[in-house]
Amino acid sequence: MDENSLLNQAFLADHRLGKCDLISGVFQDKQGTPLILPAVVECRQRLLSCHAKNRYLDPEGMAGFNAAAAKLVFGAELIDVFCAQLVTLQAPGGTGALRLAFDFYASSLHGKRLWIGTPGWSNHQQIAVAAGMNTVSFSQGLDVNEWLGELEMAQPYDAVLLQAGAQNPTGVMLEPEEWHKIAELCRRKQLLPILDNASQGIGQGVDKDAEGIRIMAQRCPELIVASSFSKNFTLYNERVGAVSVKTSVPIFAVQAKEELRTIIRTNYSSPASFGAEIVAGILNDPVLYQAWLSDLAKVRKTLADRRTSIQRLLCRKSSSGSTPRYGLFLQLDISPQVVIDLQQKDGIYLLSNGRLSLAALWQQDVEEIAATIQKRRFSNELTSLCDGQ
Ligand code: PLP
């Protein structure tokens, strides 16, 4: 099991009052009740007042959802350019979309090796291995030229997993010129980019967060995008996602769709509908769409304010210096031992790489949490000094 799941279990089993869950990127109040975006609440109410349509969906999901999801990811202009080369199918969340992407790639003649950037999301590795792929890590540091150097070792037809938008855990967002360099390398070395679009709209905005995907789609003959609608629609347990495949020629798109339909049919037959109806209801209604965009703008502002407050209180820059950071997570420059102390002594739960969820960090708690982190960090440094380390 990955670290996220183990920590969630440990958090649930912890009976201390005042324990604090900074593990996952879920917006919640102090009692741990998830917060739902107002546009989503509105659309949900409308759907609940209609008759339930309890029938199976097609394996590829709802047509209205798939078209709207593709437009959100690629933008209307590119959809026009690539319409015959692009297929988008509904998936059970971003995880389901990634698994479909990996199964699809693994079912191809060449698809066996996947390059995964670190630091990253711990589940990437597990999903890839479960899909029967060999994985290779590359260090996804601040200098893109460095990791491009590592990717020079990749062989033709290897796949490279990249995070679109704000990266988990670092919050880094790549610049357009960096995406152009990556696209150039993938093209030259005949690598297949697989883009994880986990929180479109939560970094810098729906179009800005998709910029890398759109650059790659224009420059690379083939690519796959796995999109999640869990965080940007606060629909976590409704499991809404989509997998998109852009192929070099239209006939391959037809084949890709057939292959994906078969993978879906033999795994879970067809997806669930309610969450996808909400997403489609918002994306296809101009008024709700505008409401959703302004909900997301507020989310971004809240996250940025929390990031600034805790960083100021911790009186240190993150390990990353002054590169701007966005999105749900803040990676603290603290040792795994400090993370263990915070969990065991204070009931504050975060990942061992120092990742803290800003979505779960309640503004009123910022001061207290920052003070506790400082205290643990200080006493750890003192211990190390005394031990002569
Ligand atoms: N990719 C990344 C980077 C994530 O952080 C997550 C979820 O936290 C996912 C994919 C999976 O998304 P979902 O929760 O929709 O399965």
Residue 309 domain-assigned?
A: no
The whole-angstrom separation of Cα 49 and Cα 61 is: 22
CA distances 164 to 65, 173, 203, 207, 326, Å, are 21, 8, 10, 11, 12
Distance (Å, whole) CA 106 – CA 112: 5
CATH number of the structural domain spanning residue 375: 3.90.1150.10
Same domain, 237 and 354: no
Atom of ligand 1 nearest to the CA of 168: 3
Claim: this prediction has a pTM higher than 0.85: yes
Is the minimum distance from the CB of 94 to ligand 1 under 6 angstroms? yes
Adjacent-strand bridge partners of 134: 113
The answer to whether the CB of 93 is under 6 A from ligand 1 is: yes
Q: How far apart (Å, rounded) are the C-alpha atoms in residues 363 and 309?
A: 9
Cα 208 to middle of ligand 1, angstroms: 19
Query: Last residue of a domain, which of 284, 307, 333?
Result: 284
On whether both 114 and 186 belong to a single domain, the answer is yes
Q: Are residues 188 and 336 in the same domain?
A: no
48 assigned to some structural domain:
no
Output the DSSP codes for 151-209: HTTPPTT-EEEEE-SSPTTT-----HHHHHHHHHHHHHHT-EEEEEE-STTTSS-HHHH
- The residue among 212, 172, 202, 372 whose CA lies nearest residue 303 is 202
Residues 30 and 66 placed together within one structural domain of the fold? no
pLDDT of residue 389: 46
Helix (H) or strand (E) holding 20: strand 20-21
Whether 90 maps to a domain, the answer reads: yes
Q: Based on C-alpha coordinates, what's the Rg of the chain? A: 21
Q: Is the CB of 277 under 6 A from ligand 1?
A: no
pLDDT of the residue at 53: 76
Instruction: Please tell me whether residues 27 and 133 are part of one structural domain.
Output: no
The answer on 190 and 119 residing in a single domain is yes
Q: Are residues 213 and 337 in the same domain?
A: no
**Which of 239, 266, 284 is where one domain is finished?**
284
Residue range of the domain that includes 358: 3-36+318-386
Tell which residue, 275, 325, 314, 317, has the closest CA to residue 96: 275
Q: Is the CB of 198 under 6 A from ligand 1?
A: yes
| Domain match, 368 and 255 both | no
- Measuring from atom 13 of ligand 1, which residue has the nearest CA? 94
Domain shared by 347 and 243, yes or no: no
User: What CATH number should be reported for the domain holding residue 135?
Assistant: 3.40.640.10
Q: Is residue 206 part of a domain?
A: yes
- Å from CA of 98 to ligand 1 middle: 9
* Structure token pair of residue 104: 């699809």
With respect to residue 306, please indicate whether it lies within any of the assigned structural domains.
no
> In this structure, how many other beta carbons lie within 10 angstroms of the beta carbon of residue 208?
15
> What integer pLDDT is reported at residue 38 of this predicted model?
97
Domain-terminating residue out of 284, 308, 342 = 284
Report which secondary-structure segment, H or E, holds 356.
strand 355-357
Confirm or reject: Cβ of 197 under 6 Å from ligand 1.
no
pLDDT given for residue 387 in this prediction? 61
The 3-class SS string of 91-139 reads: ECHHHHHHHHHHHHHHCCCCCCEEEEEECCCHHHHHHHHHCCCEEEEEE
Statement to judge: residues 211 and 333 lie in one domain: no
Residue 300 falls within a domain, yes or no?
no
pLDDT tens for the chain, residues 1 to 389: 788 889 999 999 999 988 899 998 999 877 778 899 999 999 999 999 887 778 899 999 999 999 999 999 999 999 999 999 999 999 999 999 999 999 999 998 777 899 999 999 999 999 999 999 999 999 988 889 999 999 999 999 999 999 999 999 999 999 999 999 999 999 999 999 999 999 999 999 999 999 999 999 999 999 999 999 999 999 999 999 999 999 999 999 999 999 999 999 999 999 999 999 999 999 999 999 999 999 999 999 999 999 999 999 987 544 455 789 999 999 998 999 999 999 999 999 999 999 999 998 887 789 999 999 999 998 887 666 566 54
- Which residues face 348 on adjacent strands? 20
Residues 163 and 100 occupy one common structural domain? yes
Ligand 1 mean position, distance from CA 95 (Å): 6
Q: Is the CB of 281 inside a 6 Å radius of any atom of ligand 1?
A: no
Whether ligand 1 lies within 6 angstroms of the CB of 122 is answered as no
Assigned domain for 291 exists: no
Q: Are 112 and 272 in contact (CB under 8 A)?
A: no
Cβ atoms of residues 278 and 232 within 8 Å: no
Are 109 and 147 in a shared domain? yes
Answer whether residue 46 is part of any domain.
no
- Could you give the number of structural domains in the chain? 2
